[in-house]
Amino acid sequence: MNAETPPVAVTCGDPAGVGPEVICKALADMTERDRSTLLLVGSIPVLERAARVVGARLAFREGAAGGTGNAVAVHHIEVDGMPIPFGVLDPRGGELAYRAIVEAVELTRAGRVGGIVTAPINKEALNAAGHHFDGHTGLLAHLTGAAASFMLLASERLAAIHVSTHVSLSDAIARAATPRVLATIRAGHAHYRRLGVASPRIAVAGLNPHCGEHGLFGREDIDAIAPAVDAARAEGIAVEGPIPADTVFYRAYGGEFDLVVAQYHDQGHIPMKLVAFETTVNVSLGLPIDRTSVDHGTAFDLAGTGRAGHVNMHAALSYARRLAASPRN
């Protein structure tokens, strides 16, 4: 990261979960200079409690990123009752998480930060606070006015971008339509081009067992997915598929592909979490801003114990810095 790279905002997630703790653990590992490149977005009392829980000697100040001194900059958000009890679903936690995301988006769009790293939120608490979204992806698309967004899970040896995520399996099948599959391929291709991969090798997973066995187990792979692959290939994208889902991730993990297009949530999440549970980064594509996230939940059962691992937070921060240093075309 150089002097011209903008700072990164870090939203603190649900205050009843492990988000503030893993943030504080990651901060404790950093140099003072690296901490100065971050702007936390959340509640200072919540962060102070988290620092005590994990035994991190950290100070927090309200204000912009940068400057001198060892206190970490916080864009403070005032919500009554903070900090709330650990591990308890509370609408106040959903409200703080929601407002932190809104503020971080505004900071990014105003050019004050170069992107966002999000700690986990609790979807039930978010909805209990009156904000009816399926999670970060839908909320960020709404806040930025994006026509579509895509979830990319990235690790060192395997990456998957999803045609659909937080919908029922029956809805996921309906969403595996040619326009959406083609848009997903394009989004993944553009992202890897931005990261410096001249011709990303993309594999598209089939929807049905063995890609439907020529229509024996369903025609979605023939009628919807294959035409999207053909159209992307006609645009010059190096893409293959549909490829049976029970082999495509093995082939990608072995180095044959840079990215797999997964047709639905679990098809992509299961292999990613199997091979890179601690280091997978959740990246939102298709938005006018950059956002990365840890790929784990609020872990209410661990909140307040100080035992939650922070390797994933380091990975999300590293990816966000990489994006902040890679201008959009």
70 shares its domain with 123: yes
Question: 171-180 pLDDT, tens per residue?
Answer: 999 999 999 9
Counting the structural domains of the chain, the total is 2
Closest residue by Cα to residue 75 from 57, 88, 62, 60:
62
**Does 296 lie in the same domain as 231?**
no
- What CATH number is given to the structural domain containing 211? 3.40.718.10
Identify the domain containing residue 108 by its residue range: 1-149+286-329
pLDDT above 70: percentage of residues in the chain? 98
Q: Say which DSSP state 76 is in.
A: E
**Residue 285 — very low, low, confident or very high, per pLDDT cuts 50/70/90?**
very high
Q: What is the pLDDT of residue 295?
A: 87
Please check whether residues 54 and 127 belong to one and the same domain. yes
pLDDT level of residue 325 (50, 70, 90 thresholds)? confident
Is pTM, for the whole model, over 0.75?
yes
pLDDT in tens, 96-124: 999 999 999 999 999 999 999 999 999 99
Domain boundary among 252, 278, 304: 278
133-162 per-position pLDDT tens digit:
988 988 999 999 998 899 999 999 999 999
- Confidence class of residue 68 from pLDDT cuts 50, 70 and 90? low
Q: Are residues 1 and 145 in the same domain?
A: yes
Residue 235's Cβ-count burial label (10 Å; 0-12, 13-18, 19+) is exposed
Average pLDDT of span 207-219: 95
For residue 125, give the nearest of 85, 72, 185 by alpha carbon.
85
In terms of domains, do 120 and 59 share one?
yes
Q: In terms of DSSP bridges, do strands 291-294 and 281-285 run parallel, antiparallel, or are they unpaired?
A: antiparallel
Q: How far is CA 22 from the centre of its chain?
A: 16
Separation CA 149–CA 138 (nearest Å)? 8
Do residues 129 and 197 both lie within one domain?
A: no
Shared-domain flag, residues 120 and 168: no
**Could you tell me the pLDDT band of residue 328, with boundaries at 50, 70 and 90?**
confident
Query: By CB neighbour count within 10 A (0-12 exposed, 13-18 middle, 19+ buried), where does 234 fall?
Result: exposed
Q: Is 135 left (phi over 0), alpha (psi -120 to 50) or beta?
A: left
What integer is the mean pLDDT of 208-213? 96
Q: Work out the mean pLDDT of the chain and round it to a whole number.
A: 95
Same domain? 110 vs 249: no
Whether the CB-CB separation of 10 and 38 falls below 8 Å is answered with yes
DSSP-assigned beta bridge partners for residue 262: 162
